[in-house]
Amino acid sequence: MTPLLALLFLLVAATGTGVALSRNPKRQVLAMSANGMALALLFMALQAPDVAFAEIAVGTAAIPLLFLAVLASIRMDHGPHGTPKE
Amino acid sequence: MSAATPRGMSPRMRLVLFALAVLAVLPGVVHVAGHMPQFGAHPLPYGDAINAAAPPERHVTNMTSAVNFDYRGFDTLGEEFMLLCAVTGVTVLLRGGRGEGTAGRPGRTGHRPVLPRTDAVVLTARAGAGVLLLFGFYVALHAMTTPGGGFQGGVILASGMLLVFLGDGYAAWRRVVRSEAMDACEGLGATLFALCGFAGVLLGLPFGQNILPLGTIGDLFAGGLMLVENAGVTMAVGGGFLVVFIEFLEETRVVPGADER
């Protein structure tokens, strides 16, 4: 194992621990995004660029966005039938 | 978990249970860890077999595409329709009570104001969107020669379009990304993939038989039928992700008259 790989494994472990330890959902989403980026770098270093592309696009952009949209929707002032009110 | 403590267990009890579980599982974990293959070794013969067979047989240099669209194309058909079902489910659940109008305005959380975007954000998003779209097309188009392909390209294209929302806001986002067009893109992409697979069946050949000329190895348009299937996957994945983005982002809007169903 090269020093670069060892470093990236540590980075993945550190960012993953960050996800598990964040208590605020919004921070947790960003921590998950950082974890996705660390994983993408690891995949790239392990010579799997196609998996890295998918991880960057899905893990660091798409899924955090969906979580943020859900969190925003939950925090909005909702009417009696679950739809946002004026 | 006796009858005396019906509502959960004490932290102490939980720790004891945890320790017991660790004791039970630990020997297995140690055994497996001791017998794992070396880091970086690949003891299974499948990868080597594909690496040896795919270039002469299918005229492509990206083995992942050869496996996904040709050797294992039938599995990909299943995955394609799993994606279609998932996107359809999200759309049915979320769009149901809201309709397809685009007249909603941003929802509010308490009295927090909705701030306008700064010029720096708009500029970065616009510049990034162009670069990302170009890169997405590049990745999708080079599916047969370099790592990547329809799935990766489609996801990158979708996230590039998302930057329109980040930079230019909701109105521009809905103007550029038409919901109907994305629905069609998703469905037609999956249909295109299925048609490619069944084209061989109609001719009396196995499912997914590569019936088009394979072209020259290393060429951008080598791979025959895999190129068409790759285009279908790009459309289905790009369209599908954008449909999901639209539906989720609509959830943060206040839709006038959404209660009158």
Q: What residue ranges do the domains of chain B occupy?
A: 61-107+116-254
As a dihedral over the C-alpha atoms of residue B180, residue B186, residue B189, residue B193, rounded to 10 degrees, the angle is -150
As given in the structure block, the two tokens for residue B12 are: 């102490």
| pLDDT score for B1 | 45
| pLDDT score for A77 | 64
The number of residues making up chain A comes to 86
A15-24, A69-78, B55-64, B123-132 — which is least confidently predicted?
Answer: A69-78
The nearest alpha carbon in chain A to B39 belongs to: A1
Size of interface A-B (CB pairs under 8 A): 78
Helices (H), chain B: 11-34, 46-58, 63-66, 73-95, 119-141, 150-176, 179-202, 225-250
Q: Is the dihedral of CA A23, B165, B80, B76 positive or negative?
A: negative
| pLDDT score for A11 | 96
Let me know: does B233 contact B150? Beta carbons within 8 Å. Answer: yes
| pLDDT score for A1 | 76
| pLDDT score for A63 | 92
Q: Helix, strand or coil for residue B188?
A: helix
Let me know: does A71 contact B249? Beta carbons within 8 Å. Answer: no
The nearest alpha carbon in chain B to A6 belongs to: B39
| pLDDT score for B4 | 52
Q: What's the rounded mean pLDDT across residues A40-47? A: 93
The closest of B122, B135, B136 to B164, measured between CA atoms, is B122
Instruction: Say which amino acid occupies A83.
Output: T
| pLDDT score for B153 | 93
What whole-number percentage of chain A has pLDDT above 90?
63
Instruction: Say which amino acid occupies A70.
Output: V
Which residue in the block uniquely carries the two structure tokens 């639209």?
Answer: B246
| pLDDT score for B6 | 53
User: Domain count of chain A?
Assistant: 1
Let me know: does B242 contact B161? Beta carbons within 8 Å. Answer: yes
Inspect the interface and report whether the beta carbons of B156 and A62 lie closer than 8 Å: no
The number of residues making up chain B comes to 261
Would you say residue A19 lies in a domain?
A: no
Inspect the interface and report whether the beta carbons of A72 and B109 lie closer than 8 Å: yes
Helix pair B225-250, B73-95: axis angle to 10 deg: 20
Ramachandran assignment for B142, one of left (phi > 0), alpha (psi -120 to 50 degrees), beta (any other): alpha
Beta-strand runs (E) in A1-86 = none
* B139 Cβ contact partners less than 8 Å away, ≥ 6 residues apart: A53, B148, B149, B152, B153, B156
CA distance B207 to B201: 5
Least CB–CB distance from B97: residue in A50, A76, A83: A83
Distance from CA of A58 to the nearest CA of B (A): 7
Would you say residue A2 lies in a domain?
A: no
| pLDDT score for B225 | 87
Let me know: does B117 contact B237? Beta carbons within 8 Å. Answer: no
Mutation for testing the A interface, residue in B259, B260, B261 having most A CBs under 10 Å? B259
What is the rounded average pLDDT for all residues in chain A? 87
Q: Is the dihedral of CA B68, B189, B217, B139 positive or negative?
A: negative
Least CB–CB distance from B147: residue in A49, A73, A76: A49
- Domain span at A68: 25-76
For chain A, the first-to-last Cα distance in angstroms comes to: 58
For residue A25, the surrounding DSSP H or E stretch is: helix A25-45
Q: Helix, strand or coil for residue B186?
A: helix
Would you say residue A3 lies in a domain?
A: no
Q: What's the rounded mean pLDDT across residues A57-65? A: 91
b/e sequence B210-247, b meaning 16+ C-beta within 10 Å: beeebbebeeeebbbbbbbbbbbbbbbbbbbbbbbbbb
Would you say residue A17 lies in a domain?
A: no
> What is chain B's pLDDT, residue by residue, as a tens digit (261 residues)?
444 555 677 889 999 999 999 999 999 999 999 998 888 788 888 888 988 888 888 888 888 888 888 888 889 999 999 999 999 999 988 887 676 777 777 777 667 777 788 999 999 999 999 999 999 999 999 988 888 888 999 999 999 999 998 888 888 888 888 888 999 999 999 999 999 888 888 888 888 788 888 878 878 888 888 889 999 999 999 999 999 999 888 888 876 655 543
Would you say residue A1 lies in a domain?
A: no
Q: Is the pLDDT of residue A81 over 60?
A: no
Which residue in the block uniquely carries the two structure tokens 């993408």?
Answer: A40
b/e sequence A2-40, b meaning 16+ C-beta within 10 Å: eeeeeebeebbeebbebbeeeeeeeebbbbbbbbbbbbb
pLDDT band at A83; cut points 50, 70, 90: low
| pLDDT score for A86 | 46
